[in-house]
Amino acid sequence: MSDDFSWYPFSMDSPDSIKDPVFSEPWEADTFAMLVTLEKTGLISWSEWADELGSEIKCSSTYADTGTDYYIYVLSALENLLIRKNIVSGQMIEQYQAGWGRVAERTPHGQPMELMTDDLNPPLSE
């Protein structure tokens, strides 16, 4: 190999060169992390994920490529794919959505949110 060879043309800039955040909100990063984990564990493939996301965007009459709603479609496609593959049920997703809603209602702004078992149970009627 030549002494004047450099990997520089094949490498990305350093993270310090990134001016804008990759994700607008923490939940967007969490959603992406779930996708990566599901793919690495073999529960989903990138091709079926891409198909599901494409279908989600295509079915939306309100989609405009502004980037602001992209992760809403990402999350919806992830939920649909998990349900279609019988990894989770729609009922379980609804249960967790409601549970996290209860957590958000009781947690003061800026404080860590903690999901407890009772959060996953519907409140008793009075």
pLDDT tens digits, 26-54: 889 999 999 999 999 999 999 999 999 99
- pLDDT value for 47: 93
Residue type, 75: L
Tell me how many helices (H) and strands (E) the chain has: 4, 0
| 30/20: higher pLDDT | 30
The encoded tokens of residue 21 equal 């955040």
Enumerate residues 6+ apart whose C-beta is below 8 A from 91: none
Rounded to whole angstroms, the Cα distance separating 25 from 98 reads: 20
On whether the CB atoms of residues 56 and 80 are closer than 8 A, the answer is: yes
What is the pTM for the complete model shown?
0.70
